[in-house]
Structure 1
Amino acid sequence: MKFDSIKSRLVLMTLICVIGMGGLVASQHYFTQRLITLNQQRDVLLRMGQDLLQMRRHEKDFLLRSDEAYFIKFSQQAVSFNTRLDSLVPMFSQYDLPITDVESLSNSIETYREKFQEVVALQRQIGLTLNSGIRSEITNLENRLSETEVNRAPTRELFGDLQLATRNFQITQEAVYAREIEELSTRLVSMFDDDQNLNVTLQRYQSALVALVNNYLRFGLTHNDGLRGEFRQSAHNVENQLKSVDSALQPLIEQQEAQVRIYGLGIAALTSVVLILVLIKSFATFHRAFVNFLTFFYRCKRQYQKIDTRKLGFAELKSLAELANEMVESKRNIEARLASVEAELANKKAS
């Protein structure tokens, strides 16, 4: 198709605008969808962070209240965390992000969950209440011993000190009370070597106290010791790796935003350049044709001259030029015939 008419040029400019706008809309839609997907995944990361905070909250509530309801809530939150984590895997594969970050995060959350399960199991052994676990056994043995000679002079004070050290150790979990329990229980058992039945009960009591101390030592006397320190460290690992996953996603979002701007500006610039070039060419063609028409009308006052249609460019102007040329030719013929008639009349008059 030759764009040699004003109409075709207008159609061409319209097509350029439509194609440019279509390309711009298509690119914006494509990259916007990618950005929406990435931001949805980032929203998943934020929700995973909230899940982790809830898990830490349930963890602390359990340690404070020794209520297994918080362990159930912790487990439910862990399932929610893993479900959201699994949804990130396809996105990381699609955008060639380091899948090892997701795998490391999955391993860390599993370690954190397992460590907390060990804490709960150990707390069950110690006793979630005074009537369960080792604490219940110690209470029962103390009640039995309080009805024996152990609770009479001269061992009453020693037995009372041992009970007090046991209570203080359970409350404060300080090592000094653990040593005091070991020392006092050994002295108390040695004072009843002659009474076999009572000695057996005292040895059971001592074994229960030793088991209590050992479990608390395994549990951790401070937040950074023992099993508590291990699962707290695993929780920190999860937090750090969650930040690492978010850090890997952020540059991708910024890259997609930059591509939206680049493609949008590129398509708009290309469309504008092509449109301007077409307008410049059309203006130059029209200007040249207009000058030719002015020259034609100016010269027609003095001489018969036809317009060169090859220099006009637009088909509509060529049609006008052909009509003008026909008009000039018709005028020339009429004037020639008029001159011929006048010559004949002059000859007749002369004769």
Structure 2
Amino acid sequence: MLIRQKLMLSAALSIGALVAMFGLQLYSGKTQVELALAAQTVVELERDMLELRKDEKDFLTRSDMAYVQGHAQHAAELKNKLSTISQVFEEYDMPLAPLNRFESLLGQYLTLFSEVVTLQQQIGLTPKSGLYGQLREAVHNVETLLKEHNKPELAVQMLQLRRNEKDFMLRRDASYLEKFQQTLRSFDSTLDGSDLSPDVADEIRRLMTDYQVNFEALFNKEKEFGLGKEDGKMGALRTVIDQAEQATEEIAGIIQTLQSRTRSIVQLMEASQRQGGESAEQAASAGTMLAQINQDVTNIMDMSTQIAAAIEEQSSVAAEVNKNVVVIRDIAEESSHAAMANAKASDDVRERAEYLQSAVSQFRVS
């Protein structure tokens, strides 16, 4: 294979590689965009989780069911975003375990929050609803009877029971249940020793039994709800939230890792593309140089032909000159022989002339 053909093949391969890398670059660019959107969606997941916590806190603080509706709306939005991220994870074959764990934890959280809402409704969203309302009604009925029959000593103990009740509600301390029961026993003892009629005393006992049952029911519901931050449904809710936040961070870490790898691949392809472009340019330049070399060789061959023709012509001229030189030499030799013959003839003539002169001198008259 000629060098020119090799260079042309190299250029073609370089161009093909550039086209392939351009396609890969487009795909990598699409991947980067989708991963960036997924990363943004994860950030929105974290924001939606904060919105859920805000709705939760607002509900617990204000006992307003409107926040439960807002909580459900934010949960629906979060699920949609979770579905979007799941599609990206499946498309790029990323580990689904953190995503599945987050989805499971989200389900647990929503279930726990629903149970918390139900408990709060049973306890009472307002002072007149739920167990709060039942306690209020029972106390009001007892206080009315005590007031009607003018029993201040029982009214004082009733106030102490209300104080134990309110202290428990404010401080959420289980010790107030025991204090409540002690005060109730003291109330019963005072009631037994009072001069109230049996019918009135029995009615008060019935109302106090309802009051006690309702307070113990309230205590049990509050305990199930969670007396401390780490107790009951609220403790479980907090644990699930912490685990969900960890899962969210893990999801974000996976996406960031893939983004980093994709950026590295893109940078490598860009470097390869630049090198391929340089190689193609070098091959094209080498082809141009080779064409110039071919032209120069052709020119040299033409000049060599001309020189050979000139040399051949000079050889012919030299041969003619040599031939003429031989002719001239022969003529010169003939001329030399003729000159020598003439010289010899001159000598003969001179000798004869001298002889004649000598002969003539003999006949001179003296």
What TM-score do you get using the length of structure 1 for normalisation? 0.77
Q: What's the offset of the Cα at 1:231?
A: 0.6
2:57 — aligned with what? 60
What SS is found at the alignment partner of 1:147? helix
Is 1:220 equivalent to 2:226 in the alignment? yes
Rounded to whole Å, the distance in 1 between the matches of 2:53 and 2:181 is 34
Rounded to whole Å, the distance in 1 between the matches of 2:39 and 2:309 is 80
Is 1:104 equivalent to 2:110 in the alignment? no
1:72 — aligned with what? 69
Structure 1 residues 189 and 215: alpha-carbon distance in aligned structure 2, compared to 1, 3 A threshold: farther
Matched letter for residue 159 of structure 2: G
Q: What's the offset of the Cα at 1:164?
A: 1.6
Rounded to whole Å, the distance in 1 between the matches of 2:18 and 2:157 is 93
Is 1:208 equivalent to 2:207 in the alignment? no
Rounded to whole Å, the distance in 2 between the matches of 1:141 and 1:222 is 28
Alignment counterpart, residue 237 of structure 1, candidates 234, 243, 262: 243
Matched letter for residue 266 of structure 2: V
Does the 8 Å contact 1:16/1:271 carry over to 2?
no
Matched letter for residue 244 of structure 1: E
Rounded to whole Å, the distance in 2 between the matches of 1:79 and 1:190 is 57
Superposed CA offset, 1:87-114 (max 9, x none) = 2222222222122222111110010011
Question: Aligned Cα RMSD in Å?
Answer: 3.2
Q: What's the offset of the Cα at 1:70?
A: 0.8
Rounded to whole Å, the distance in 2 between the matches of 1:62 and 1:85 is 25
1:257 — aligned with what? 263
Is 1:42 equivalent to 2:18 in the alignment? no
Does the 8 Å contact 1:181/1:209 carry over to 2?
no
Does the 8 Å contact 1:27/1:264 carry over to 2?
no
Rounded to whole Å, the distance in 2 between the matches of 1:123 and 1:51 is 23
2:110 — aligned with what? 113
Structure 1 residues 99 and 17: alpha-carbon distance in aligned structure 2, compared to 1, 3 A threshold: closer
How many residues were matched structurally? 306
Does the 8 Å contact 2:154/2:187 carry over to 1?
yes
Does the 8 Å contact 1:13/1:275 carry over to 2?
no
Matched letter for residue 201 of structure 1: L
Does the 8 Å contact 1:162/1:181 carry over to 2?
yes
Matches within 5 A, 1:37-186: 37-149=34-146, 152-186=151-185
Superposed CA offset, 1:11-65 (max 9, x none) = 9999778656544432321110111111111121111111101001011111111
2:343 — aligned with what? none
Does the 8 Å contact 2:102/2:248 carry over to 1?
yes
1:310 — aligned with what? none
Does the 8 Å contact 1:111/1:234 carry over to 2?
yes
What TM-score do you get using the length of structure 2 for normalisation? 0.74
Rounded to whole Å, the distance in 1 between the matches of 2:236 and 2:190 is 40
Q: What's the offset of the Cα at 1:281?
A: 4.8
1:319 — aligned with what? none
Rounded to whole Å, the distance in 2 between the matches of 1:291 and 1:3 is 15
Superposed CA offset, 1:215-249 (max 9, x none) = 11221122222211111111111111111111111
Task: Indicate the larger mover: 195-204 or 118-127.
Answer: 195-204
Rounded to whole Å, the distance in 2 between the matches of 1:253 and 1:48 is 18
Does the 8 Å contact 2:56/2:67 carry over to 1?
yes
Q: What's the offset of the Cα at 1:167?
A: 1.7
Is 1:283 equivalent to 2:289 in the alignment? yes
Task: Indicate the larger mover: 13-22 or 185-194.
Answer: 13-22
Rounded to whole Å, the distance in 2 between the matches of 1:286 and 1:176 is 104
Matched letter for residue 35 of structure 1: Q
1:247 — aligned with what? 253
Q: What's the offset of the Cα at 1:196?
A: 2.1
Q: Which has the larger radius of gyration?
A: 2
Matched letter for residue 265 of structure 1: A
Rounded to whole Å, the distance in 2 between the matches of 1:49 and 1:268 is 40
What SS is found at the alignment partner of 1:98? coil
Rounded to whole Å, the distance in 2 between the matches of 1:231 and 1:64 is 16
Rounded to whole Å, the distance in 2 between the matches of 1:92 and 1:24 is 24
Superposed CA offset, 1:114-167 (max 9, x none) = 111111111111100011001101111111111123872322221111112212
